[in-house]
């Protein structure tokens, strides 16, 4: 009987469909990663030399006011207990209230994340649309002028300080030429003109059919997005060139050429097709980096995104906001990883 | 962004601007004021709790007070606002205010003495950080309803003892003196918080502007109150945009997309001053930069050593170099523009004089630690002082740390020397006299961390009593003289080397008139601005 029960259990385990096993493993992996992320951030937040109590009460508060806020924040409890409370709240989707602006952190993130999402998405589109073809052509015409241009572009993209390029961009295209809008997501006359549905101004303006707001928002986003796009394309084009060179030196390419296949087909239908899996990782990483928020770009362009939100919170010891922002950024990384895995399965038959 | 980056970007922009010209300059609408400002210090806009600069700007324009300061005539001191007159009882402890008739809150509710009583009681009962501005008059959560009460159109406040009327009224012009709409606030009360949670992000005032929105780190939007008793403001809409970077503020200003840039660094001020259509306005603010010597240190407590340190500061050298345009020399604890402020600045950079004083004190080979918070200008002042002290034979070791590290040691009386800044809390001389020159109990057990004199273990040698006397003096001229006398003695005997007073430089489009950041005594006002 015992044996039968044991074997029965074994059958149940063995009969689990693979997708359920994959799902359980994925969820387990996400949970462990998030727990680790929260733990590390929480500990860093507690040991860093910024006093959250002083941040709230100010330098000249009396000792009794200081002590009252110290207790109110639960800072008298052991670290592990504080962490336990925090995890419990996060499980209830409660990131707490920002210590500094008294608003729920989830509301703040819902306000700042769409700004970053909009900027990063446009940035990565620019990066892909220009960076991938540039990398492919640079590899196909190795040593040619276009290859040299691509390499210089990549080098400049890596070495030029982003704040300097941003300020120069603003000075030239906004200050001198007047082609684009200045700092901020939208001109002052268009603030709060369209109802916020998604938080993405371009999308909200389109949904509202208000094309004046759309044009104005586009004129504000195009410069910072191009700047981020440029830094992405520097990385994407360099990696694409490297992947393509590897493929173009493979024997199957020589075979294809010997068979008389056109150079276009050789490059795009054979060589490029085989770089897609690697490119997905590169693009996903670039996109994730942009979604973290580019702090300097956000500062220069007065873009109220998640990067400057987390940085300001960190410098102000607003740990609820820091932890909330970190959870969101961590989730983005994890989701993009999962997306990459899924795309691998689509593009790489060996992964199926 | 670090100094190098700032200089690089400033230089690059300066160069580019000098060889080219801007595209056609835009202009904001004639009835709208657009300001670029760093507003990331706003943590709450509840006047019972708000204690930051940008938050005080909102409060000043949104809330009325019993008495307030006129931005066009700050030197005149407090004037009637929601109270039209006041009378002081014979014993000097009760002030009876007569409320202005016919004034309404933005909600439409009438402003009454009951609202005024509620507002002050609420601030005392909530006991948030700025509550000490009121509780120093003896108001407590327990006695608030008896000591602050309304009767008909009158509001009576009774202090625990006689104080100078100007002291009490000056305190009522501070943010915490704002009168809130009781009905609206209490309609939003949660768990007995007297509407605190709601008022942190909303407003219930009767001032010249209504708050439309505050988006943290993004913007503050206000629209004019057409029913304001003082007349509807010329600027129908005010937008304060959070722009962190100085160069971005300058570009916006020079393009004409904003009217006022409030946080330009010295390089951008110099550049903007050359631009067409831009003017620069300076106003003295309340922040003082000072060095304090811990009197627990056996050498630093000698009177000659305290004097010597006052000659080891290169006041003019710093003012004319890295502090240019940002600070002016000021050697008194009351900032210029305050009641009783002194313009005497007797100390100058004099190494030989310092050496003589140190020799007279028998001090040789002195080595001390100075604690400095990690702010560029403070570190540079520390380094300048270090060089000067070395010439007088004093080794100064600079410890740079975060606010938590340095302030914790300062408050615990552990630092030899502290280099830092202090800003007044309310527009009365007592605010600084009561911390720099007041220390009734110098023992460690007193733990009076809020008093700068205590933090430096300084028994003020009779100044405490003089401060006590000045705070109850009702004759305005006499009171002014008392503070001048206290400061004269303080300059000579105290262990504080007060060096500089902050200047705020605003860059404006040249069509903006009547702009005021409130000098040292108050905050920015928008209702008198015209274009």
pLDDT in tens, B142-168: 999 999 999 999 999 999 999 999 999
Is the pLDDT reported for residue A12 higher than 60? no
Is the pLDDT reported for residue B404 higher than 70? no
pLDDT of residue B134: 95
Nearest to A170 among B219, B251, B405 (CB): B251
Burial of A209 (0-12, 13-18, 19+ CB in 10 A): exposed
* Terminal-to-terminal C-alpha distance of chain A: 40
Is the pLDDT reported for residue B17 higher than 70? no
CA distance A80 to chain B (A): 23
Rounded CA-CA distance B164/A105 in Å is 45
B403: nearest CA in chain A?
A: A50
Rounded CA-CA distance A176/B60 in Å is 37
Nearest to B13 among A171, A177, A299 (CB): A171
Type and span of the H or E element at A129: helix A105-140
What would the pLDDT profile of B416-440 be if each residue is shown by its tens digit?
A: 999 999 989 888 999 999 999 999 9
CA distance A31 to chain B (A): 31
Task: Tell me the C-alpha to C-alpha distance, in Å, between residue B63 and each of A254, B128, B226.
Answer: 79, 18, 14
Answer with the residue of higher pLDDT: A60 or B286.
B286
pLDDT of residue A82: 84
Is the CB of residue A65 less than 8 Å away from at least one CB of chain B? yes
Q: What is the DSSP string of B438-455?
A: --S--SGGG--TT-HHHH
B16: nearest CA in chain A?
A: A171
Nearest to B44 among A102, A308, A309 (CB): A102
Determine the residue among A171, A299, A320 to mutate to test chain B binding: the one whose Cβ has the most chain B Cβ atoms within 10 Å. Answer: A171
Three-state DSSP at B291 gives strand
Type and span of the H or E element at B83: strand B83-88
Rounded CA-CA distance A147/A158 in Å is 17
Over its C-alpha atoms, chain A yields an Rg (Å, rounded) of 25
| Contact residues for A30 (Cβ-Cβ < 8 A; gap 6+) | A334
Answer with the residue of higher pLDDT: B497 or B474.
B497
Is the pLDDT reported for residue B56 higher than 50? yes
Task: Tell me the C-alpha to C-alpha distance, in Å, between residue B496 and each of A192, B57, B300, B499, B500.
Answer: 50, 30, 11, 9, 12
pLDDT band at residue B256 using 50, 70 and 90 as cut-offs: very high
Percentage of chain A surpassing pLDDT 90?
Answer: 23
Is the pLDDT reported for residue A164 higher than 50? yes
Nearest CA to B125 out of B103, B143, B151 is that of B143
Averaged pLDDT, B217-244: 93
Nearest CA to B64 out of B270, B169, B208 is that of B208
Rounded CA-CA distance A74/B58 in Å is 31
CA distance A299 to chain B (A): 6
Determine the residue among A46, A55, A59, A216 to mutate to test chain B binding: the one whose Cβ has the most chain B Cβ atoms within 10 Å. Answer: A59
Tokens 């939003």 belong to residue: B188
| Contact residues for A83 (Cβ-Cβ < 8 A; gap 6+) | A38, A39, A42
Answer with the residue of higher pLDDT: B401 or B384.
B384
Answer with the residue of higher pLDDT: B390 or B408.
B390
B364: left (phi over 0), alpha (psi -120 to 50) or beta: beta
pLDDT of residue A337: 83
**Pairwise CB contact (< 8 Å): A183 & B405:** no
pLDDT band at residue B109 using 50, 70 and 90 as cut-offs: very high
Torsion sign, CA atoms A151, A154, A158, A159: positive
In the DSSP assignment, the letter for residue B525 is B
pLDDT of residue B324: 87
pLDDT band at residue B10 using 50, 70 and 90 as cut-offs: low
Task: Give the tokens for residue B403.
Answer: 């606010």
Half-sphere exposure in the Cβ direction for B77 (13 Å, CA):
14
For chain A, what is the mean pLDDT? Answer: 83
Is the pLDDT reported for residue B301 higher than 50? yes
Helix-strand-coil percent breakdown of chain A, rounded to 5?
A: 80, 0, 20
Is the CB of residue A88 less than 8 Å away from at least one CB of chain B? no
For chain B, what is the mean pLDDT? Answer: 91
Are the C-beta atoms of A82 and A73 separated by less than 8 Å?
no
Are the C-beta atoms of B330 and B498 separated by less than 8 Å?
yes
Chain B positions in Cβ-Cβ contact with residue A61 (cut-off 8 Å): 129, 450
Largest CA distance in chain A: 87
Rounded CA-CA distance B19/B76 in Å is 47
Are the C-beta atoms of B235 and B29 separated by less than 8 Å?
no
Q: What is the DSSP string of B30-99?
A: TTEEEEEE--TT-----TTT--SHHHHHHHHHH--BSEEE-TT-GGG-EEESSEEEEEE-TTS-EEEEEE
> Where are the domains positioned within chain A?
30-92, 110-351
Is the CB of residue A178 less than 8 Å away from at least one CB of chain B? yes
User: How many DSSP H helices and E strands does chain B contain?
Assistant: 19, 17
Chain A positions in Cβ-Cβ contact with residue B197 (cut-off 8 Å): 102
Averaged pLDDT, A204-224: 93
Nearest CA to A300 out of A120, A190, A164 is that of A164
pLDDT band at residue A323 using 50, 70 and 90 as cut-offs: confident
pLDDT band at residue A10 using 50, 70 and 90 as cut-offs: very low
pLDDT of residue A191: 82
Prediction ipTM score: 0.73
Cβ atoms within 10 A of the Cβ of A72, count?
11
Averaged pLDDT, B508-527: 93
What would the pLDDT profile of A46-94 be if each residue is shown by its tens digit?
A: 776 667 777 677 666 667 777 887 887 788 888 888 888 878 887 777 7
Is the CB of residue A63 less than 8 Å away from at least one CB of chain B? yes
Chain B positions in Cβ-Cβ contact with residue A308 (cut-off 8 Å): 217, 244
Cβ atoms within 10 A of the Cβ of A257, count?
15
Determine the residue among B21, B215, B409 to mutate to test chain A binding: the one whose Cβ has the most chain A Cβ atoms within 10 Å. Answer: B215
Pairing of strands B366-373, B394-401: parallel
Name the A residues in 90-119 with CB < 8 Å from any B CB. Answer: 98, 100-103, 108, 111
pLDDT of residue B70: 92
Task: Give the tokens for residue A330.
Answer: 């961590």
Q: Domain A110-351: what homologous superfamily?
A: MetI-like (1.10.3720.10)
Are the C-beta atoms of B346 and B373 separated by less than 8 Å?
no
pLDDT of residue A42: 78
Averaged pLDDT, A274-295: 86
**Pairwise CB contact (< 8 Å): A308 & B257:** no
Q: What is the DSSP string of B473-520?
A: ---HHHHHHHHHHHHHHHHHH-SEEEEEEEEEEEEEETT-BS-B--TT
Are the C-beta atoms of A246 and A208 separated by less than 8 Å?
no
Give the least confident one: A57-71, B347-361, B443-457: A57-71
What would the pLDDT profile of A93-144 be if each residue is shown by its tens digit?
A: 778 778 767 788 888 898 899 999 999 999 999 999 999 999 999 998 888 8
Is the pLDDT reported for residue A352 higher than 70? no
Nearest to B251 among A108, A163, A182 (CB): A182
Answer with the residue of higher pLDDT: A55 or B504.
B504
């Amino acid at each position: 009987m015992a044996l039968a029960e044991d074997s029965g259990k074994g059958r149940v385990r063995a009969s689990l469909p693979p997708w359920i096993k994959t799902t359980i493993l994925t969820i387990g992996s996400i949970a462990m990663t998030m727990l680790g992320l929260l733990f590390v951030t929480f500990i860093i937040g507690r040991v860093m030399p910024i006093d959250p109590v002083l941040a709230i009460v100010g330098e000249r508060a009396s000792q009794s006011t200081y002590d009252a806020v110290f207790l109110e924040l639960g800072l008298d409890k052991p670290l592990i207990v504080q962490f336990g409370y925090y995890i419990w709240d996060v499980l209830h989707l409660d990131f707490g209230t920002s210590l500094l602006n008294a608003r729920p952190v989830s509301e703040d993130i819902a306000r700042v994340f769409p700004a970053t999402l909009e900027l990063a998405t446009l940035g990565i589109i620019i990066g892909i649309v220009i960076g991938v073809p540039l990398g492919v052509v640079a590899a196909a015409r190795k040593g040619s002028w276009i290859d040299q241009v691509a390499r210089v572009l990549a080098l400049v993209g890596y070495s030029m300080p982003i704040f300097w390029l941003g300020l120069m961009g603003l000075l030239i295209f906004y200050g001198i030429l007047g082609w684009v809008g200045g700092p901020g997501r939208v001109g002052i006359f268009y603030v709060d003109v369209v109802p916020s549905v998604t938080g993405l101004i371009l999308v909200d303006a389109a949904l509202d059919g208000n094309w004046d707001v759309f044009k104005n928002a586009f004129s504000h986003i195009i410069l910072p997005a191009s700047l981020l796009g440029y830094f992405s394309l520097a990385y994407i084009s360099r990696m694409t060139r490297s992947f393509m060179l590897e493929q173009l030196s493979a024997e199957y390419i020589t075979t294809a050429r010997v068979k008389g296949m056109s150079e276009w087909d050789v490059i795009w239908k054979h060589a490029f097709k085989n770089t897609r899996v690697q490119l997905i990782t590169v693009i996903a990483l670039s996109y994730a980096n942009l979604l973290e928020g580019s702090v300097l770009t956000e500062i220069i362009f007065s873009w109220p995104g998640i990067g400057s939100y987390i940085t300001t919170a960190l410098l102000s010891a607003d740990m609820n906001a820091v932890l909330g922002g970190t959870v969101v950024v961590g989730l983005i990384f994890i989701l993009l990883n999962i997306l990459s895995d899924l795309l691998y399965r689509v593009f790489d038959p060996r992964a199926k | 962004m670090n100094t190098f980056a700032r200089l690089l970007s400033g230089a690059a922009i300066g160069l580019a601007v000098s060889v080219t010209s801007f595209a056609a300059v835009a202009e904001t609408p004639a009835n709208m004021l657009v300001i670029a400002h760093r507003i990331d210090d706003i943590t709450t806009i509840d006047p019972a709790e708000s204690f930051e600069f940008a938050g005080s700007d909102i409060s000043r324009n949104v809330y009325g007070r019993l008495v307030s300061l006129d931005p066009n005539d700050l030197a005149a001191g407090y004037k009637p606002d929601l109270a039209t007159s006041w009378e002081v009882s014979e014993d000097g402890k009760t002030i009876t205010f007569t409320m202005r008739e016919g004034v309404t809150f933005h909600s439409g509710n009438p402003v009454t003495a009951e609202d005024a009583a509620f507002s002050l009681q609420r601030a005392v009962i909530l006991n948030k950080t700025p509550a000490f501005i009121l509780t120093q008059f003896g108001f407590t959560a327990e006695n608030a309803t008896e000591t602050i009460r309304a009767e008909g159109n009158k509001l009576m406040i009774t202090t625990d003892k006689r104080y100078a009327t100007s002291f009490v009224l000056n305190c009522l012009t501070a943010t915490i003196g704002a009168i809130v709409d009781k009905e609206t606030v209490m309609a939003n009360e949660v768990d007995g918080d007297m509407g605190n949670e709601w008022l942190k992000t909303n407003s219930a005032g009767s001032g010249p502007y209504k708050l439309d929105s505050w988006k943290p780190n993004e913007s503050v939007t206000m629209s004019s109150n057409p029913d304001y008793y003082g007349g509807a403001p010329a600027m129908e809409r005010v937008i304060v945009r959070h722009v962190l970077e100085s160069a971005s503020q300058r570009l916006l200003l020079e393009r004409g997309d904003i009217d006022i840039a409030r946080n330009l660094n010295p390089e951008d001020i110099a550049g903007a001053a050359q631009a067409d259509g831009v003017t620069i306005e300076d106003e003295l603010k309340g922040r003082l930069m000072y060095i304090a010597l811990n009197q627990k240190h056996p050498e630093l407590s000698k009177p000659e050593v305290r004097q010597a340190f006052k000659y080891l500061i290169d006041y003019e050298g710093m003012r004319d170099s890295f502090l240019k345009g940002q600070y002016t020399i000021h050697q008194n604890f009351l900032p210029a523009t305050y009641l009783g402020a002194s313009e005497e600045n007797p100390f100058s950079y004099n190494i030989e004089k310092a050496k003589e004083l140190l020799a007279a004190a028998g001090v040789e080979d002195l080595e001390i630690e100075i604690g400095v918070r990690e702010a560029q200008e403070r570190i540079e002042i520390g380094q300048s002082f270090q060089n000067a002290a070395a010439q007088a034979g004093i080794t100064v070791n600079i410890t740079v740390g975060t606010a938590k590290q340095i302030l914790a040691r300062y408050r615990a009386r552990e630092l030899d020397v502290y280099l830092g800044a202090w800003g007044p809390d309310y527009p009365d001389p007592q605010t600084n006299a009561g911390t720099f020159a007041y220390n009734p109990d110098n023992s460690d057990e007193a733990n009076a961390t809020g008093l700068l004199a205590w933090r430096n273990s300084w028994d003020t040698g009779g100044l405490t009593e003089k401060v006590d006397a000045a705070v109850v003096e009702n004759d305005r001229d006499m009171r002014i003289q008392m503070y001048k006398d206290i400061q004269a003695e303080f300059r000579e005997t105290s262990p504080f080397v007060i060096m500089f007073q902050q200047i705020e430089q605003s860059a404006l489009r040249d069509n903006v008139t009547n702009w005021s950041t409130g000098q040292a005594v108050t905050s920015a006002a928008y209702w008198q601005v015209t274009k």
